[in-house]
Amino acid sequence: MRMYVGLDVHSKRSVFVIETEDGRVVARGDIPTTPAGFRQLRRQHELASEMPVALETGTVAFYAARQLARVGLRPVVIDAHEVRVKAHRPRQKSDRRDAFELCEGLRRGQYRAIVHVPPARIGALRETLSRRRHFVAVRVAEVNAVKRLLRAAGPSSVLCKRETRHGDKEPARDLRHARPRTVSSSHRQTHAVERPVPAASYAGTGPPR
């Protein structure tokens, strides 16, 4: 008999509901959001291979989807906004009700906004690129801050004399040609994030906290 699973995923524990194709609820409960917990879900309830499991988008959704796929189930990640819009009682929200709504919507085939889950390596690459963009933005902001400081002070105020170790005064030099520490620091940060990063794998890692 064909069955459907609705899974409301959270960082520590996830709530599930299992229905038959005629809408009869055969199991409810919760499991740890870990690889062992997902294996327990399939083994304890004797779920067939490639059985669809509905879950909505969220912080832990992609992690849970990859772990479900590893234990032989077929995750279906649905846009959270569509789940709320099509819920029977959208104002009455709880973990068990959310799992039931996901299971019922999957069984009826009423969801359209299905989210693609990228492979773990692609996900790691996207995360690395997003962090690089952050550091590049920080670098640009620091350089622009130094430029504004020098322009506001005027050309005469950026000249100074430096005392040598013999106590003499060197001729004034233009500090606009010197590299401020902030700019030098930001350059080092940018070079660090621009180094090639090996493709990472999420296998065996826990959900984000």
Spatial neighbors of 32 by CB under 8 A, at least 6 apart, are 12, 13, 14, 40
Rounded to 5 degrees, what are φ and ψ at 138? -65, -40
Neighbours of 58 (CB within 10 A): 15
pLDDT value for 30: 95
Q: Tell me: do 9 and 108 sit in the same domain.
A: yes
Per the CB < 8 A criterion, the answer to whether 73 and 104 are in contact is no
> In the chain, helix, strand, coil percent, each to 5?
45, 20, 35
Q: Tell me: do 23 and 101 sit in the same domain.
A: yes
pLDDT value for 94: 85
Structure tokens at 62: 């992609």
Helix (H) or strand (E) holding 35: helix 35-45
pLDDT in tens, the chain (209 residues): 789 999 999 999 999 999 999 999 999 999 999 999 999 999 999 999 999 999 999 989 999 999 999 999 999 999 998 988 887 766 667 889 999 999 999 999 989 999 998 888 888 888 888 889 889 999 999 989 888 888 887 765 544 445 555 555 555 444 445 445 555 655 665 566 556 555 544 444 555 55
Residue 99's domain is classified under what CATH number? 3.30.420.40
Instruction: Of 10, 53, 49, 58, give the one whose Cα is nearest residue 31.
Output: 10
Number of domain units in the chain:
2
pLDDT value for 128: 87
The reply to whether 96 falls in a domain is yes
Q: Tell me: do 85 and 136 sit in the same domain.
A: no
pLDDT value for 191: 63
| pTM, two decimal places | 0.61
